[in-house]
Chain A
Amino acid sequence: MSSAGQAIEPIDLYDEPGLVLRLNAYLTEKLGRPVEIGALKRFAVGFSWITYGFSIPAPGIEGVTGLILRLGPALGLFAPYSAAPQYLSLKALEGHDVPAPRAYYWSDDAAILGAPFFISELVRGEAPIPWGPGSEMSDEFRHSLGAQFTDALGALHNIDWQRSGLAELAANVSVANAGLLQIEEWERNYHRWALKAYPMFDFALRWLRAHQPVAPRVSIVHGDYRLGNFLEVDGKITAILDWELVHLGDPHEDLAWFCLPQYRGGTKLMGKLIARDEFYARYEAKTGFAVSEESMRFYEIFNLVKLAATHMAGVYAFERKGFYDMRMPAMGTQIAPVLRQIEKALEANA
Chain B
Amino acid sequence: MNNSLDRLIEGMVETLRREILPNLEGEFVRGQAYGVIYALKSLQLRASWSPAFLLAQIGALRELAEATAELPAEAPHVLLPDELPHDAGQLEKLRDTGDAAVSALIGWLAAHEHPAGDAAVRAYIHRQLKHELKTSAKPMFAEISLGKEQEA
Show the binding face of A for B, using Cβ within 8 Å: 129, 131-133, 195-203, 206, 209-210, 312, 315, 318-319, 323-330, 332-337, 339-340, 343
Contact = CB atoms under 8 A, between A and B. Distances in A.
Top 9 nearest A-B pairs (CB, nearest first) are A324-B14, A336-B132, A332-B2, A197-B103, A199-B102, A202-B103, A197-B100, A197-B99, A196-B96
Contact of B136 (A312, A318, A336, A343): A336
A343 B1 contact: no
B15 A315 contact: no
Most chain B CB neighbours (cut-off 10 Å) among A197, A206, A209: A197
B106 A198 contact: no
Given A132-B142, A330-B141, 7 more contacts: A198-B103, A325-B15, A327-B144, A328-B11, A330-B139, A333-B2, A333-B139
Contact of B124 (A129, A199, A332): A199
A306 B105 CA distance: 22
Contacts of A343: 125-126, 129
B45 interface: no
Nearest to A201: B103
A326 to B, nearest CB: 5
B3 A340 contact: no
B1 A332 contact: yes
Interface in B110-152: 110, 121-122, 124-126, 128-130, 132-133, 136-137, 139-142, 144-146, 150
Given A333-B1, A340-B133, A203 B145 contact: no
Contacts of A340: 129-130, 133
B140 A330 contact: yes
A328 B2 CA distance: 10
Nearest to B139: A333
A195 B93 CA distance: 11
Contacts of A324: 10-11, 14-15, 18
Contacts of A318: 3, 7, 11
Contacts of B145: 129, 131-132
A311 to B, nearest CB: 8
Nearest to B99: A197
Contacts of A323: 11
Nearest to B3: A329
A210 B113 CA distance: 13
A288 to B, nearest CB: 37
B7 A319 contact: yes
Contacts of A206: 106-107, 109-110
Contacts of B109: 206
Nearest to A207: B110
B106 A319 contact: no
Chain B interface residue count: which class?
35 or more
B12 interface: yes
B125 to A, nearest CB: 5
A319 B4 contact: yes
A198 B144 CA distance: 26
A336 B99 contact: no
Nearest to B14: A324
A242 to B, nearest CB: 16
B71 interface: no
Contacts of B124: 199
5 contacts: A203-B122, A329-B3, A330-B144, A333-B2, A336-B136
Contact of A329 (B8, B103, B126, B142): B8
B15 A202 contact: no
A146 to B, nearest CB: 22
B121 A203 contact: yes
Contacts of B14: 324
Contacts of A319: 3-4, 7
Given A199-B102, A199-B103, A329-B1, A337 B133 contact: yes
Nearest to B133: A336
Contacts of B7: 318-319
B61 to A, nearest CB: 10
Contacts of A332: 1-3
Which of A319, A328, A335 lies at the interface centre, i.e. has the most chain B CB atoms within 10 A of its CB?
Answer: A319
Contacts of B107: 202, 206
Nearest to B118: A203
A335 B133 CA distance: 10
A197 B107 CA distance: 12
Interface string B3-23: 110011011101100100000
B11 A200 contact: no
Q: Which of B106, B137, B144 has the most CB of A within 10 A?
A: B106
Residue of A330, A333, A335, A339 most packed against chain B (CB within 10 A): A333
